[in-house]
Amino acid sequence: MHPTANTLVQLQELLLIRDESKISSGTTKLEKLDKSVGAMSKELPQETRVLFQKLHKKDPSFIVPVSEGVCAACGLKLPISLVQEIKLAKEIYQCPSCARFLYFTLAMPRRVGKGPRRSEPRKAGVARFSAEVLMIPRLEAKTRDAAISELAVLMGENGYVDNVDKLIDEGLRREQIMTTAVGHGLAFPHVRRVEGGGLTLALGITPKGIKFGPGTKDLTKIVFFMVIPTPASGFYLKLLAGLAESFSSAAARKALMSAKTQKDLWKVLIKETRSTVK
């Protein structure tokens, strides 16, 4: 990857984490992230910095991978010659259609779950990107890494994603940057840039609680694991806000913790997010 493209990818990740922190964390994390964003922005060449700032005002994803010769953001089929130049990484390139910066990466996990048939009614709320089979009312995991692995494997076993090992690696890598654990015993581990399909969510409950990251006082008992394709990066923040709002309620959290079966857990999730996740 071109050094400038690598800086842009890291900067985009920091900005997305900052957006997450605005929803779920305190001002201390925001101040640290703002300093990191400022320092990294200064590393960019002046012309690139101006373009990045312009693109970021429009969308949180300003640099995206090339997937099978296609811009992961807008879906434009790129000329073969341009794809080859991006692979060589001698310069940084932009999509001819959406103007986002482009980079080439090794294969990411692919979201392979099938959408609803045309004859099926359109689903609403959380049901659009999750399902009863993605619920675990009692996680076997005793650690953060094991919890992420258990939920990722569940997605793979039910045909929602491929390359589960890569999915787990990416989920753990994200946790190394900054923990996704927040207050009230909630955690929102996730993997971005998953190829194909739409956003997918799995939910696991661990009654005894597990330590999810350094600096977190509360044990995590409710784990939402999400895979996020590039086009859904913006919506993911709305989903995060909706879930955080729903389960800031002690009664809602208690209802999740009391669920004994997949069906029970699914019903509670649907009920408690009906007004917050559209």
| Closest C-alpha to 162, from 108, 204, 114, 116 | 108
Specify the pLDDT at position 220: 96
Consecutive 10-residue runs of the chain (278 residues): their mean pLDDT?
90 88 69 86 94 93 90 93 94 95 75 47 81 97 96 94 90 90 92 78 96 80 92 83 93 97 97 93
User: Tokens representing 240?
Assistant: 């995060």
Structural domains in the chain, CATH included, are 3-103 (1.10.287.1490), 125-273 (3.40.930.10)
Specify the pLDDT at position 83: 94
Gap between the Cα atoms of 183 and 181, Å rounded: 7
Question: 137 vs 96, 142, 175, 255, CA distance in Å?
Answer: 47, 14, 23, 11
Gap between the Cα atoms of 246 and 55, Å rounded: 32
Gap between the Cα atoms of 92 and 64, Å rounded: 12
Burial environment of residue 257 by CB neighbours within 10 A (0 to 12, 13 to 18, 19 or more):
middle
> DSSP per residue over 116-181, as a string?
--TTSPPP-GGGGT--GGGEESS----SHHHHHHHHHHHHHHTTSBS-HHHHHHHHHHHHHHS--B
Gap between the Cα atoms of 32 and 166, Å rounded: 29
